[in-house]
Amino acid sequence: MPKSVTQMSEEKAINLFSGMILQGKIRQAVCFITDRSETGGILCPDDDAGKGKTVQEVLESKHPEQREPDPEAFIICKDLPVLIDVDVTADHMLKIASTLSGGAGVSALDAAQWQNLLLKQGGASENLREAMAALTRRLANNIVEWDDIRAMKANKLIALDKCPGVRPIGIGDVAARLCAKVMIYITGDDVQSECLADQICSGLKSGIEGSIHSFRNLFNDLAQDGWGLLLMDASNAFNSISRSAAIWNSRVLWFRCSRFIFNSYRGFAILFIAGSKRFLLSKEGVTQGDPLAMLVYGLGMLPLTRKLKNPDKWKQNWYADDSSCIAAFEALVEWLNLLLLDGPKYG
């Protein structure tokens, strides 16, 4: 990650900015040249993370051992939906390849290099798109041995400085991200149709904007003594949610993508820590940085979201692990107690 623009010569800053623009990294270039990075940068494993811990120790604490899931976290389903094969074509690869962005994973090939391979090499690019479509079909329509895809699912783990705090981000290989994005493109509407407004991280169009306007109007209408708005954020949510329950709930609610999800999370992915020769294993939850993570997390939490839903007493809103509730103070306390009671069952 480049140094702050204030810490280098004007010529070097301009060269870095120009390079980002030429690579299509518009957002990163603007953040860099205006010195508006969203975080304090990338931390090294031996850096001080505060409270007497190193970054390495914080990363280890944020990737817990797999726990015995609570039975209540699993959706009860007597008749499972019939599995449907997904037809993935080279045309899907062509469409999604143009939207790829981001840095390189373990293979060291970034999105710009993959776009060059997939789009700009004539017949060779066409053959590569066919091969990637065949790979995605295999992952989507079959149960694949973990040893066959273990290397593909390895991630480069970086620690972002949250100022304060540490945010772990797993950078998957671009090939794996491409396959996941194609599956979301083909089947993602299933998640939106299932979650609707109960969980707006499903990708519901204008869901965030609609929620903001709705809750602003509710707050203005109900602003009076004895009423309030409570905002909640789960701790280490993506790495702590029950992986077993999330996989099962995806099998019930997102069955067209369920085999792809199972193949992606059936094993413990290796997380190579950037800036060192050390690694961790991802044993629980979903990997932040995985295109599937937000949707799988939303489905994993959907039973809890619906369990807490009670329009007669309160209005709630959920975006992944960020939740809010507006109600009379007594009802807010009841909602919070339910969340504290049932939340840990889902991780």
Q: What is the pTM of this model?
A: 0.84
Number of H helices, E strands in the chain: 14, 10
- Please measure the distance between the N-terminal and C-terminal CA atoms of the chain and give it in whole angstroms: 33
**How many Å separate Cα 231 from the centre of its chain?**
21
Residue with tokens 């041995």: 145
**Three-class SS state of 303:** helix
Distance CA 112, CA 90 (A): 19
Count of Cβ atoms closer than 10 Å to residue 67 Cβ: 13
**Three-class SS state of 204:** coil
Residue 306's identity, in one-letter code, is R
Report pLDDT for 37.
47
Distance CA 276, CA 270 (A): 14
Inter-CA distances, 74 with 88, 233, 301, 303, Å: 30, 22, 10, 8
Report pLDDT for 2.
43
Measured CA angle at 259 (ends 256, 264), to 5 deg: 125
Report pLDDT for 164.
75
- Sequence ranges of the domains in the chain: 1-37, 39-346
**How many Å separate Cα 157 from the centre of its chain?**
14
Instruction: Find, among 324, 336, 314, 328, the residue nearest to 212 by Cα.
Output: 324
User: pLDDT truncated to tens, each residue of the chain (347 aa)?
Assistant: 444 444 567 777 777 878 877 776 766 776 666 654 445 577 888 888 888 888 888 888 999 999 998 999 999 988 999 999 999 999 999 999 999 988 888 888 889 899 999 999 999 999 999 999 999 999 999 999 999 999 999 999 988 887 777 888 888 899 999 999 999 999 999 999 998 888 888 887 777 888 888 888 888 877 677 888 899 998 888 899 999 999 999 999 999 999 999 999 999 999 999 888 889 999 999 987 789 999 999 999 999 999 999 999 999 999 988 999 999 999 999 999 999 999 999 88
Here the tokens at position 208 are 């965030």
Three-state helix/strand/coil letters over 57-116: HHHHHCCCCCCCCCHHHCCCCCCCCCCCCCCCCHHHHHHHHCCCCCCCCCCCCCHHHHHH
Pairing, β 48-50 against β 53-54? antiparallel
Dihedral angle, C-alpha 170, 172, 234, 323, nearest 10 °: 140
Q: What are 50's strand-pairing partners?
A: 53
Distance CA 296, CA 299 (A): 5
Distance CA 326, CA 212 (A): 13
DSSP state of 169: E
